[in-house]
Amino acid sequence: MSSGGDLKTEIIDGVGVVSLNRPHRHNAITDALFDEMCTTIRAHLSDPSVRCLLIRGEGPSFCSGRDKAELGKRAEGVDDFTFIREHQQIRLEVLESTKPVVAAVQGAALGGGFEIALSADMRVIADDALIGLPEVGLGLVPDTGGTQLLPALVGPARAKYLVLSGARIDARTAYAWGLAEEVVPVDELHDRALALCRHLARQPKLAVSMAKMLVNQASTVDVRTGMGQELLAQTALFRSDEYLSIKQDALRAREESTARSRNESDGY
């Protein structure tokens, strides 16, 4: 097993297991974690000994999305368009891979975290799962496939409900709507998801590859085009007055909260 800090990975019976490992932050995605995750997933996708991927999270949540401490921030020299496109690319590679990918989801799966799960071929979720896309409330839109992958699973009206309202749904609702193949007790999640992946890894490799391609052809043929539209919309929204105002209010509230905490710790 490799345990590189914010991410752990191992290969078990032909299953490449990728575990987000920031439980204290509900596995929120930082730039460093994203880079490590991309490297690891691509290594498993290109490794002939890996027949199936399992993406999971350590601790109480699968992934709460982009770490708020880095929300809207970019590394030097990186513009919004390039940043979003890089995040979209790994989703497309997972979708278009010939290998089956399973997401094991517990606790929070929000924003980009939910979109990680959506890009998987199947989802096994715990009975404590809470799923949602909060981007519109921030003056943004889902930008790594959320608007494109949801309608095929839940229909356009429910997709609009989740995207436009920012509502969060529980495990029972997610299963009823077609967002999960199984709901299991949280303490059984990892074992059940791994058992499914082991079964998929034992299936005939060529037949699995062709079968995944055929199902994708029926359900996700226009995803690349739609994600391109997400890219353009989000790039524009990052410069909109609405988003910048909401961002400024959030920063101000965070600074006030930090100041209050500091004062309380100093005994004021």
What residues are labeled active site? 115, 135
Q: How many whole angstroms separate alpha carbon 179 and alpha carbon 197?
A: 18
Please name which of 143, 58, 49, 131 lies closest in space to residue 92, comparing C-alpha atoms: 143
Cα 76 to its chain centre, rounded Å, is 24
Please name which of 223, 41, 51, 58 lies closest in space to residue 144, comparing C-alpha atoms: 223
Q: Are 20 and 6 in contact (CB under 8 A)?
A: yes
- Bridge partners of 109, per DSSP, are 63, 131
Beta-strand relationship, 101-105 and 52-57: parallel
Residues 6+ apart with CB under 8 A from 95: 119, 145, 216, 220, 223
DSSP assignment of 6-40 equals: SEEEEEETTEEEEEE--GGGTTPBPHHHHHHHHHH
